[in-house]
């Protein structure tokens, strides 16, 4: 069975985006890009909600990005993608399929297929829905050494307690810290 992991960069105060969807605080350098390429090489499917999809689809295929960040751009542009949205009419980014309904059932079906891992990026409301259903196998949270004071919190929309177990950490030279968690075995979200 395929594994679904979440990867998000957050601020020290827990925001995955600042006011106005600002992500200019992302602390990205050569070491991070090396990690990103390795992570993208371990998956064959990327998952997004509408907002994150539109941001990514408007960024990665641009000539400047493909010139300045060719390895990550190549992977982002060529991997298969699913965007979950009830409002989009079509998804035009290369190798993207639009799913409008039954998103949780779709993930259950895709997880049963053979293939590499799947990665969910950004997409706070989709993440919360998947987390509440126990569909996320690993949470990879990269804490950036910055405090914004306001923004969009990563776990906004969570209605039940989610117990996690720390399984790995990695400190980057630029001050980022990657924390990897798995759901506590035998506990479903909301169970005491």
Question: What is the percent of the chain where pLDDT is above 70?
Answer: 96
CATH of the domain at 129: 3.40.430.10
Domain coverage including residue 96: 4-183
Residue 136 within any structural domain of the chain: yes
The pair of structure tokens assigned to 97 is 């399929």
Position 1 scores a pLDDT of 87
Number of structural domains (the chain) is: 1
| Mean pLDDT rounded to a whole number for the chain | 93
Tell me the whole-structure pTM to 2 decimals.
Answer: 0.92
pLDDT band at 185 (very low <50, low <70, confident <90, very high): confident
Q: Has residue 192 been placed in a domain?
A: no
Query: Is residue 62 one of the residues assigned to a domain?
Result: yes
Task: Report if residue 106 sits inside a domain.
Answer: yes
Q: Is residue 190 part of a domain?
A: no
């Amino acid at each position: 069975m395929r594994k679904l992991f979440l990867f998000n960069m957050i601020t020290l105060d827990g925001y995955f985006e600042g006011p106005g969807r600002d992500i200019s605080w992302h602390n990205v350098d050569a070491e991070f890009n090396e990690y990103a390429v390795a992570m993208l090489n371990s998956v064959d499917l990327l998952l997004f909600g509408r907002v994150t999809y539109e941001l990514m689809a408007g960024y990665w295929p641009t000539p400047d990005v493909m010139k300045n960040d060719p390895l990550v751009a190549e992977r982002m542009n060529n991997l298969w993608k699913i965007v979950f949205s009830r409002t989009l009419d079509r998804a035009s980014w290369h190798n993207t399929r639009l799913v409008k309904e039954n998103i949780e059932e779709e993930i259950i079906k895709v997880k049963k297929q053979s293939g590499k891992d799947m990665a969910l990026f950004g997409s706070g409301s989709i993440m919360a829905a998947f987390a509440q259903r126990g569909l996320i196998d690993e949470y990879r949270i990269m804490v950036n050494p910055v405090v914004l004071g306001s923004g969009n919190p990563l776990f906004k929309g969570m209605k039940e307690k989610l117990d996690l177990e720390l399984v790995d950490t990695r400190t980057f030279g630029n001050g980022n810290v990657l924390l990897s968690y798995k759901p506590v075995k035998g506990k479903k979200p909301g169970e005491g």
